[in-house]
Structure 1
């Protein structure tokens, strides 16, 4: 790719939607879903049962869609990206299964988390199985570059999760460290999923980097909004229990900002709450009140809008068209959503 910066034709003022991305990738997602269904099978019945519980649970499948949309954007006409998009989804699903065990989650996508139904040992092991399937799909593709990108992303995700674990209940966690954590645990896979589309299409480094930048900034924006939603939505809308992050002592940006902006008494509350000395519904209610008082959710969403704008700007080297507009609107949707 050597195209110059091309202005994006703005859509109407309607609310941003994921529908254009869904329409753009619908045919490809049918092929991806067929690969997922085939590769999650095992002669051990518990494996497809547990994997299917999460995979069929109504997730957005945004990460594999990024691979498909990126392929459309760069004009790729082959089918290698179908298996690779399935590998991306297996990596994501495996991390979710492991996360729910680590966090002791009760809900995932609005229903009982796999670890609640099947137990922690089985959930961890099926997560390992899905990671293995992902690497099978990567090696079948045969590209060492693709393998390097996705395997590196897998390692970075694990590093991010460990970093988040060590930051848990550490009230002095900085915004800089928080952004580093979500850049690893969430944005790394968004970036890799986007970048490999340019690799299979044999684009130049500029196009690869542009898609990487798009995915990375989108991933940060997406996680920022997830963390904001934990304090300004409900379990029915979110698909998980409200205040989960607070109960687990996770240092997310709404808490970091509320703590930084708080007075001495408020800081004492946060020190007690995050350390686990104040717990329960009353503590959650107070946390939510303080976050609202200091506009910490809106400030978090404002930062998300900044990263979404950077994601959209990264697409500027590509010609205007349906794929670019759908990907830009997906970034706008990521920050406007309430779930």
Structure 2
């Protein structure tokens, strides 16, 4: 079932996505049987493939007519899949997209190593495309994503994290790959510096909006929308924007609650319900969604540089899709 808000994008890139999927399956192959087993477990688990679709749509909007976008889109998806495998180990997550995380089935060591394999395959495909600027953009984003992971690790369970600190983490951890996925499409289309920067700006702002809605959904959504259990961020002690806002705006007793549950990981029955009620009291979820709308508007503004086209319309619809998940 395709969400109406992204059905236009899915339809536009359907033929190219079939080629991307074939590439993904081919490049996940290995004579070491555990590698395709783990890769397929995550690849086939129902992700929307949003990031590679952004690469294809940006290339289409920029009138690219070669075949390099297929390998770059597959590389983007491999980079994303590798970070998910690594993330679940770092976060000690049990579930991913409604299924047991790979680490629960094959162990932490195998999950990390298969993530490394997928990163290696991603870089091989980038080299095969032969665009040094695209290789520069995607390899730079891999560095930034890793920095974001380490930043998040150092901020883990720290209730003193500021909103600026948190935005810096998601700008690196989530938005960098969204931005790179869009930017390489424009580079392949041989567009001007301004248009390449506009595609990157669209992706980065979309990525921030996407993550902020995820943050809100973890406390105010459903498992079906999240692809994981509601409250996972809370149980894992993650400091996300709703927590930052609730902590800042809370009473001394409420701050003590966040310190106990997130910093000290001391949980009692009913704590998740208390956390959600406290967030609602201080409008932390509504304000997180409002900030997401702000970044969504910035993403739309970035596309104004481009003439009207079905691809531009579809990319604008993606912004609506990301925000509408909060309803």
Under a length normalisation based on structure 2, what TM-score does the superposition of the two structures give?
Answer: 0.97
**Root mean square deviation, CA, Å:** 1.3
Deviation string 1:145-164 (CA, Å, 9 cap, x unpaired) is 11110000001000001100
Deviation string 1:287-306 (CA, Å, 9 cap, x unpaired) is 11101111211110110000
1:323 match: 311
Deviation string 1:80-109 (CA, Å, 9 cap, x unpaired) is 100000000000000000001111111111
**Where do 4+ consecutive residues of structure 1 move more than 3 Å?**
none
- 3-state DSSP class of the match of 1:213? helix
1:217 match: 205
1:62 aligns with 2:50: yes
Deviation string 1:85-139 (CA, Å, 9 cap, x unpaired) is 0000000000000001111111111111111111111111100000000010011
1:263 match: 251
Separation in structure 2 between the aligned mates of residue 145 and residue 320 of structure 1, nearest angstrom:
26
1:283 aligns with 2:283: no
Contact 2:55 2:184 in 1 (8 A): yes
- The one of 92, 97, 119 aligned to 1:104: 92
Separation in structure 2 between the aligned mates of residue 241 and residue 143 of structure 1, nearest angstrom:
40
2:286 match: 298
CA 1:278–1:30 in structure 2 vs 1: closer, same or farther (change >3 Å)? same
Separation in structure 2 between the aligned mates of residue 70 and residue 232 of structure 1, nearest angstrom:
32
2:122 match: 134
Separation in structure 2 between the aligned mates of residue 269 and residue 122 of structure 1, nearest angstrom:
37
Number of residue pairs matched? 325
Gaps of 5+ in 1: 1-14
2:216 match: 228
1:6 match: none
Contact 2:225 2:325 in 1 (8 A): no
- The one of 60, 66, 70 aligned to 1:82: 70
- 3-state DSSP class of the match of 1:320? coil
Deviation string 1:28-87 (CA, Å, 9 cap, x unpaired) is 101111110100000011110100000011101110011000011111111110000000
Contact 2:183 2:196 in 1 (8 A): yes
- 3-state DSSP class of the match of 1:17? helix
Separation in structure 2 between the aligned mates of residue 323 and residue 237 of structure 1, nearest angstrom:
26
- 3-state DSSP class of the match of 1:18? helix
Contact 2:300 2:319 in 1 (8 A): yes
1:45 match: 33
Gaps of 5+ in 2: none
1:167 aligns with 2:155: yes
Separation in structure 1 between the aligned mates of residue 250 and residue 4 of structure 2, nearest angstrom:
34
Contact 1:16 1:329 in 2 (8 A): no
- 3-state DSSP class of the match of 2:302? helix
CA 1:232–1:306 in structure 2 vs 1: closer, same or farther (change >3 Å)? same
- The one of 20, 23, 27 aligned to 2:11: 23
Contact 1:106 1:241 in 2 (8 A): no
- 3-state DSSP class of the match of 1:317? coil
CA 1:21–1:306 in structure 2 vs 1: closer, same or farther (change >3 Å)? same
Deviation, 1:282, is 2.1
Separation in structure 1 between the aligned mates of residue 190 and residue 222 of structure 2, nearest angstrom:
44
CA 1:115–1:280 in structure 2 vs 1: closer, same or farther (change >3 Å)? farther
